[in-house]
Chain A
Amino acid sequence: QLQLQESGPGLVRPSETLSLSCTVSGGSISSGTYYWGWIRQAPGKGLEWIGSVYYLGSTNYNPSLKSRVTMSVDTSKIRVSLKLTSVSAADTAVYFCARHSGVNYAYEYWGQGILVTVSS
């Protein structure tokens, strides 16, 4: 059974960079048919798509965050990374990693999520 586990600091200072990892177990991260996504949810709010990354490096980002987001896949460490620069309180949210396939664009697998608070 595929499992995704987010990790990273729970507190980030304003204007700094948020860095999260998603460790994949129970399945391959470098299969030619899977894409890895990041979705976030501000407290009490709905879901916001941040972007997705293919293991060979191609990415798609939400234009609202594109200038600040970088996603990558580290196949040797079996993890997917998210970096978000110049954070503010508006970036406080639970961050989820998730997987969809190349033929099925619904997110079938999700991590449990990690709460990141931006505060000084």
Chain B
Amino acid sequence: EIVLTQSPDFQSVTPKEKVTITCRASQSIGTALHWYQQKPHQSPKLFIKYASQSISGVPSRFSGSGSGTDFTLTINGLEAEDVATYYCHQSSSLPWTFGQGTKVEIK
């Protein structure tokens, strides 16, 4: 099973500050890595697919990068509506797995 480790677990950020969340896979997964945003009491929402592909309707301040074992989700200028928990997910190898999540809050 591929283990995804996100860092940090928690990040408190001032508005408009840049946010960087990393996701490290226990083995190479190419670019089969996706990012979701989950707000309290809501279902996850796909934000980035295949490491760097943008999703229609997701603000352009969100971007993804990486391949192999190391991936990054970047929020260029945090806004209040971005407060949420972010999860990475790999679809390279069964069983599919998720990272433990990174909670982003406004300082």
- Taking Cβ atoms with an 8 Å cutoff, the residues of A that contact B are 39, 46-49, 51, 60-64, 96, 100, 104-108, 110-113
Contacts and interface: CB of A to CB of B under 8 A. Distances in A.
Contacts of A47: 36, 44, 87, 89, 98, 101
Contacts, number: 55
Nearest to A65: B95
A105 B91 contact: yes
Interface residues of B, number: 23
A62 to B, nearest CB: 4
B80 interface: no
B45 A46 contact: no
A92 B96 CA distance: 20
B50 A46 contact: no
B94 A110 contact: no
A89 B80 CA distance: 36
Contacts of A63: 1, 95
B60 interface: no
B32 interface: yes
A104 B49 contact: yes
Given A104-B49, A106-B50, A49 B98 contact: yes
A106 B49 contact: yes
A60 B98 CA distance: 16
B98 A106 contact: no
Interface in B20-60: 32, 34, 36, 42-46, 49-50, 55
A62 B89 contact: no
B11 interface: no
A96 B32 CA distance: 21
